[in-house]
Amino acid sequence: MQSKSTDASATKGGWVAYRPDIRILDCTIRDGGLINDHQFDDAFVSSVYRACAAAGVDYVEFGYKASKKIYAPSQSGKWKFCDEDDLRRIIGAKKPGGPKITVMADATRTDYREDILPADRSVIGCVRVACYINQIPVAIDMIKDATDKGYETMAQLMAVSVVQEHAVQDALEIFAKSPVSAVYLVDSFGALYSEQVNALIKLYKQVMDGAGKEVGFHGHNNMQLAFANTIEAVVAGANRFDATISGIGRGAGNCPLELLIGFLHNPKFQIRPVLECCRDVFAPLSKTMDWGYSIPYAITAQLNRHPRAAIEMRAGPTPDDYVKFYDAMMQEES
Amino acid sequence: MQSKSTDASATKGGWVAYRPDIRILDCTIRDGGLINDHQFDDAFVSSVYRACAAAGVDYVEFGYKASKKIYAPSQSGKWKFCDEDDLRRIIGAKKPGGPKITVMADATRTDYREDILPADRSVIGCVRVACYINQIPVAIDMIKDATDKGYETMAQLMAVSVVQEHAVQDALEIFAKSPVSAVYLVDSFGALYSEQVNALIKLYKQVMDGAGKEVGFHGHNNMQLAFANTIEAVVAGANRFDATISGIGRGAGNCPLELLIGFLHNPKFQIRPVLECCRDVFAPLSKTMDWGYSIPYAITAQLNRHPRAAIEMRAGPTPDDYVKFYDAMMQEES
């Protein structure tokens, strides 16, 4: 089967290729935590961590380093804060040999100077800084702070489907001069079609290749395209991919880890430990927790809007009244 | 956003393009009927037909023209046979002005000479002949028979993911000389990745363009790729697309009609009547009937195998034991 593109610099081979440089980040606990305000118990977190370690996943993201001045620890679950003691209770006292422990730090919602310890006093190995286009200066300061403390850092530029490409390019050039190891294309609204992912990944790579940084992709399943778009990002030459077990995540969820590993056929990754975790943890969990594609998410994504309204509608009294929701959304558009 | 391909002959424009030549075939009743042996009641069939008519869908496929010598009408539902009286009870006495009524005729399982009436005595407008690669001679005879009787005909060559490309090409060249209006790429096992869809659609078009015939695509959602692969087929230049309301269909189901219409932004097609049908018919139906993606379908698709074993497993006593299923499938592979 011939490759789709003849641009050798962008395409690293089709679906049969072996790509040893690919790294997977599992954000099951972090993105899944957006469903239940990070209230997962230790048994769940431990199961996910152990499954990822056995599967050969490179990074496991536990949650956020959210500001305790903004969010009350008595209200939210502990994985919104990822205190050192909580992490160590799951993974042991030392930095583990398996997946690198990762936390997300939201620009303007993290007391990063105080709450992110020096790396030699933490089991955390990587800090991912998430920001919107207008928060770049804060993000750069956070990246420098975490790098100075000894962490690997990555950048997640959110909601690019509503940012003009020249602004995205400006942001990328700033990240290219920062110490991040990777910059992720984030499809916050699940609104990107594959050809847009292809074009954006090429733009990201154009800026990052010269800077020696990797490009990543984080999809959402609002239009049943999270896995397809992740494949497209693989084909377009990205090397870092986010996935979650059973596709768990806020709203329509994410790219399922078991599909991504099945696609890669990379001997580094094993699907069986993920299937065990799906059977033992996620099949029961799906009886009591709601995630995954449904029509309201497709409607917000088709309109290139945040899925907020769809999430509220699905949690409300008429979760299946797609017409009322569609009419309300179209009313707001007009 | 630039288009993925620079091959103007294959790509008819990216996701913003207007493609008035596109035709949608709704196979909700036919492919959904594979779940319940075509036992849908008249109210369901009428709702689907009316929703498709209001949405501007071009063809509505009601079911099969199965042989009553092979299948007992007392056992299967009436949409396995699509008798003239049953069709007329739904749509009225005459050929309607709305969507063209379509039936599928399986090679070697249809008494086509007797059971397909002359077109002027039927409300049916189009006969789709489905066959495997080794049934081409029968399919060609069926196509000629239906054409001679006055019908539009189309061909569905099934399971091409396990047929070598030179054999596919031979088959296409035979169809190119037949009177069919369109030939569909059918991803029977839900095993094709987008780059394979792209390459195959281009192969189909290479043969069919010269013969003045259209190329179509029928996807399955075993790896959450039915919609993504349909988009890929659009971008690669196909013009005929199968979809089902709410993605209903045997096993992992099909490309959801509501997603396809949302993607096309084609003024001919309206999403709202489909959303009404999703709300009124499919949201309640999903409480009692099982369809859609689950992990066992991904496992058979990753192995490029028929989903038969996954369908049986999902209907059995341990529908969530993905590991046992994976181990059994891998055992058969070795």
Q: For B29-75, how does the pLDDT look when each residue is reduced to its tens digit (9 = 90+)?
A: 999 999 999 999 999 999 999 999 999 999 999 999 999 999 999 99
What pLDDT shows up at residue B97?
85
Q: Which of B195, B276, B302 faces A323 most closely, judged by CB atoms?
A: B276
A207 and A142 both lie in a single domain: yes
Check if A169 contacts B (Cβ < 8 Å): no
Residue A15 included in any domain: no
Contact B15 A276 (CB under 8 A): no
- pLDDT band, residue A334 (cuts 50/70/90): confident
B277 and B137 both lie in a single domain: yes
A46 burial (CB, 10 Å; 0-12 / 13-18 / 19+) is: middle
What pLDDT shows up at residue B262?
96
Contacting residues of B for A3, CB less than 8 Å apart: 195
Contacting residues of A for B228, CB less than 8 Å apart: 194, 224-225, 227-229
Cα dihedral B107/B108/B114/B118 (nearest 10): 10
Q: Which of A229, A258, A322 faces B278 most closely, judged by CB atoms?
A: A322
Nearest CA in chain B to A236: B4
Domain of residue B308 covers 295-333
A125 and A252 both lie in a single domain: yes
> How far apart, in whole angstroms, are the C-alpha atoms of residue A156 and residue A240?
12
Average pLDDT over all residues of chain B: 94
DSSP symbols for A29-78: HHHHTTTTTT---HHHHHHHHHHHHHHT-SEEEEEE---TTTS-TTTS-G
Check if B221 contacts A (Cβ < 8 Å): yes
B178 and B254 both lie in a single domain: yes
Q: What is the mean pLDDT of residues A172-191?
A: 98
Contact B321 A271 (CB under 8 A): no
- pLDDT band, residue A16 (cuts 50/70/90): confident
Question: Can you list the alpha helix ranges (DSSP code H) found in A56-164?
Answer: 84-91, 112-115, 136-148
Nearest CA in chain A to B198: A4
Chosen domain end from A285, A303, A320: A285
The string over B267-301, giving b where at least 16 C-beta atoms fall within 10 Å of a residue's C-beta and e elsewhere, is ebbebbbbbbbbbbbbbebeeeeebbbbbbbbbbb
A191 and A277 both lie in a single domain: yes
C-alpha distance from B164 to closest chain A C-alpha (Å): 10
Check if B223 contacts A (Cβ < 8 Å): yes
Q: Which of A15, A322, A323 faces B195 most closely, judged by CB atoms?
A: A15
- pLDDT band, residue B13 (cuts 50/70/90): low
What pLDDT shows up at residue B155?
98
What pLDDT shows up at residue A43?
98
This prediction has a pTM of 0.94
Q: Is the model's pLDDT at A10 over the cut of 70?
A: no
More confident residue, B234 or A334: B234
Residue A11 included in any domain: no
What pLDDT shows up at residue A5?
41
CB neighbour list of residue B152: distance below 8 Å, 6 or more residues apart: B100, B125, B126, B127, B181
What was the ipTM of the complex prediction?
A: 0.93
Q: Among the listed ranges A20-29, A204-213, B7-16, B34-43, which one has the minimum average pLDDT value?
A: B7-16
Which two tokens mark A261? Answer: 């590993």
Q: Is the model's pLDDT at A2 over the cut of 50?
A: no
Please report, rounded to a whole number, the percentage of residues in chain B having pLDDT higher than 90.
92
Check if A323 contacts B (Cβ < 8 Å): yes
CATH assignment of the domain containing B32: 3.20.20.70
Which two tokens mark A324? Answer: 């009322």
Q: Is the model's pLDDT at B24 over the cut of 50?
A: yes
A142 and A250 both lie in a single domain: yes
Q: Is the model's pLDDT at A7 over the cut of 50?
A: no
Residue B11 included in any domain: no
A201 and A151 both lie in a single domain: yes
- pLDDT band, residue A333 (cuts 50/70/90): confident
A204 and A310 both lie in a single domain: no
> How far apart, in whole angstroms, are the C-alpha atoms of residue B300 and residue A281?
22
B305 and B230 both lie in a single domain: no
Please write the tens of the pLDDT for every residue from B172-221: 999 999 999 999 999 999 999 999 999 999 999 999 999 999 999 999 99
Answer whether A273's CB lies under 8 Å from A250's CB: no
A80 and A149 both lie in a single domain: yes
Please write the tens of the pLDDT for every residue from A92-121: 877 778 999 999 999 999 999 999 999 999
Q: Is the model's pLDDT at B6 over the cut of 70?
A: no
Amino acid making up residue A117? L
Residue B16 included in any domain: no
Domain count, chain B: 2
Scanning B283-302 for CB atoms below 8 A from A yields: 283, 295, 298-299, 302
Residue B266 included in any domain: yes
B281 and B304 both lie in a single domain: no
What pLDDT shows up at residue A12?
52
Which two tokens mark A88? Answer: 């160590």
Residue B4 included in any domain: no
What pLDDT shows up at residue B39?
97
Residue B215 included in any domain: yes
> How far apart, in whole angstroms, are the C-alpha atoms of residue B51 and residue B271?
10
What pLDDT shows up at residue A39?
97
What pLDDT shows up at residue A97?
85
Q: What is the mean pLDDT of residues B13-27?
A: 87
Neighbours of B168 (CB within 10 A): 18
B218 and B310 both lie in a single domain: no
Check if A194 contacts B (Cβ < 8 Å): yes
Residue A10 included in any domain: no
